[in-house]
Structure 1
Amino acid sequence: MSFTKLQSANSLVKRLPVSLSNPFKLLRHMHWRRFFRRLFRNTLMSLWMYPIALFFAVIFGYPLVWMVYSSFKPTRELVKNVWALPTNISFDNYDELIHNDTFLNYYQNNLIVVLVSVPLLTLIAAMAAFVFARIRFKGSTLLFYMFLAGTMIPVHVTLIPLYTMLRDLHWLNTLTALIVPFISFNLPVSIFILRDFFSKIPTELEDAARVDGCSSARIFWSIMLPLARPAIATVVILSAVSAWNEYLFALTFIGANNDAYTLPLGTLSMVSALGITHFDRMFSVLTMATLPILAFYFIAQREIIKGITAGAIKG
């Protein structure tokens, strides 16, 4: 009886499709189908994604390349053919800039503004963000939203009150007139970035440090700041780029003192004289002003991505 049942079951299995009678063949078949489907989908996406990415790379990258190679061309060659590559590479423009005390003074002022404002901004924003993220007190949420409301205030509507205040403080036509307003206007965004990162650090680390007798200041310096390096790097890089390119505050608050000119403000006076624009000098000045911040960005772009995407994945 058992032999008859076994024989009937065997004949039933033989009548089944191959994929059902052999599960290993079924799995192998599904694996190859999934593989070819994924390969086809990736290939199809590449066919239209890469050309689009290349198109935008050329659109956004070519002006920088054009600016660099045009800086090696004399004015006569620039006027003859603006878009052509230089036939005779000339370093006269850069040699003139390196030996130009006025340009070096503009460069020095730019470095002073960046090297003073960025560390102060980062330190103040990190301390404020730590307080908002870890220390609960009455009105902390309201105070944080008041800071965020500062991002909605246009800079232009504050120029006249700021000018009056800086004049009363005798800070006009000095680099202090750039550093203090720059820090004030960039604090809200910096606090927002750092607070979001601090709030995602596990509280168990802070609790363990308090058990060991650490104060809030020690926790901030020894635990929070090292862990928040990606977010701090993001704040440093974004604020450094903004400080290096600051033009509106420089034009409004130090426009009457040529010795306090920064690079964005001094570039216009260097490339134009008596209404005549020296294009060869303009391209060399722009290249010298752009390359440092571009190099700084490319070196630290990995930290920017880490800081921006930190906390994007839950858990």
Structure 2
Amino acid sequence: MNVQRVPRPSRFWATVRRVPGALLTLIWLLVTALPFLIMVLLSLKSQADTYSTPAWAWPRTLDWSHYAAVLHGPFLGYLWNSVFVVAVSVALTLFLSSLAAFALARLPFRLNGLLFGLVVACLIVPVHVTLIPIYLMTRAAHLYDTAFALIGPYVAFSLPISIFILTEFMRQIPRELQEAAQIDGCGPFATYARIFFPLARPGLVTVGIYNGINLWNEFIFAYVLTSTPGHRTLPLAIFDFQGQYSSDIPAVLAVVTLTALPLIVVYIFGQERMVSGLMAGAIKG
């Protein structure tokens, strides 16, 4: 009996089929990287070259004085304020949202569905609607113009999306693990601490990176709830390099570049964990 072999596609045609995808990837890389590259080039130009040469032109001379001026100014103070506020806010958000997600995902009680619906409904509340009440509450609590004035709003507005993601993630953890912990005598909090919190690490990493990026770039609350450079965060550092009638564009872009670098580093090292955490929470077992 003669068996006809199906001809395999040659390696050449297999390579050709990958060309469109590679071209699209390259185009997308250029689209996303080009603004950052232009920003870096402008930050290395002199003030005169900024107005006399195209934005994409290579600097005539690399002028690092703008970075020196930024680093010798109050930039490091802004950086410390951002690191402190974001770190504390993300830590509190992870702790509170994981507790709430465990309760909503695995503890049966009468108002479970209603509370989860309220959490989801909070996602549509505009931030700007709350500015005046939060400002008045901050003044009444004597927290205005302090780093702690930002932590409360940051945690409050990070909780809904964090609880939503972690609740869906914890629902995928096998129920047999919870039953085994209960047989061993673990109460709800012990089950959360020993079983669910460690197993939810991919989801926690996803929530931490997502909220960290959002809070690092947050502007409106930092602008409204702080007034002095000693307590302001990085998104407000740009005000130090602009006046009433003019702006030091290279210095401003040097600030933006230095502000974006930590996020780029975090994203490079954390993107795989973030994507895997989102996919793990989206796939139902």
Same-fold call, TM > 0.5?
yes
Deviations 1:145-171 (A, max 9, x none): 111110011111111222222222222
Q: Secondary structure of 1:67's match?
A: helix
After superposition, residues 238-277 of structure 1 pair within 5 angstroms as 238-254=210-226, 256-267=227-238, 269-277=239-247
Q: 108, 114, 126: which is aligned to 1:142? A: 114
Q: 86, 111, 131: which is aligned to 2:103? A: 131
Deviations 1:278-315 (A, max 9, x none): 11111211111000111011111111011111144443
Q: Which residue of 2 aligns with 1:175?
A: 147
Distance 1:274 1:153 in 2: 34
Question: What letter matches 2:222 in structure 1?
Answer: A
Distance 2:121 2:44 in 1: 46
Q: Which residue of 2 aligns with 1:200?
A: 172
Deviations 1:70-128 (A, max 9, x none): 3222222222323212232232222222221x222211111111111110011100110
Q: CA contact under 8 A between 2:165 and 2:281: conserved in structure 1?
A: no
Q: Secondary structure of 1:277's match?
A: coil
Q: Which residue of 2 aligns with 1:79?
A: 51
Distance 1:211 1:287 in 2: 54
Structure 1: segments with no counterpart, 5+ residues: 1-20
Distance 2:130 2:139 in 1: 14
Q: Which residue of 1 aligns with 2:264?
A: 294
CA 1:218–1:37 in 2, change beyond 3 Å: closer, same or farther? farther
| Identical-residue share of aligned pairs (%) | 35
Distance 1:57 1:253 in 2: 37
Distance 1:190 1:304 in 2: 13
Question: What letter matches 2:271 in structure 1?
Answer: Q
Distance 2:19 2:186 in 1: 57
Q: Which residue of 1 aligns with 2:280?
A: 310
Q: Which residue of 2 aligns with 1:284?
A: 254
Q: Secondary structure of 1:234's match?
A: helix
Task: Identify the range of structure 1 (156-165 vs 184-193) with the bigger mean alpha-carbon deviation.
Answer: 156-165
Shift of 1:231: 0.6
Match status 1:166 vs 2:138: yes
After superposition, residues 79-98 of structure 1 pair within 5 angstroms as 79-81=51-53, 82-98=55-71
Question: What letter matches 1:103 in structure 2?
Answer: F
Q: CA contact under 8 A between 2:41 and 2:58: conserved in structure 1?
A: yes
Q: Which residue of 2 aligns with 1:105?
A: 77
Structure 2: segments with no counterpart, 5+ residues: none
Shift of 1:194: 0.5
Q: CA RMSD in A?
A: 2.0
Shift of 1:274: 3.7
Structure 1 segments, 4+ long, off by >6 Å, are none
Give the number of aligned pairs: 284
CA 1:206–1:172 in 2, change beyond 3 Å: closer, same or farther? same
Question: What letter matches 2:76 in structure 1?
Answer: L
Bigger RCO of structures 1 and 2 (CA < 8 A, at least 6 apart): 2
CA 1:152–1:42 in 2, change beyond 3 Å: closer, same or farther? farther
Distance 2:281 2:126 in 1: 29
Distance 1:313 1:147 in 2: 21
Could you say which structure has the larger radius of gyration?
Answer: 1
TM-score of the aligned structures, taking structure 2 as reference length: 0.92
Deviations 1:197-227 (A, max 9, x none): 1000001111112222222222212221221
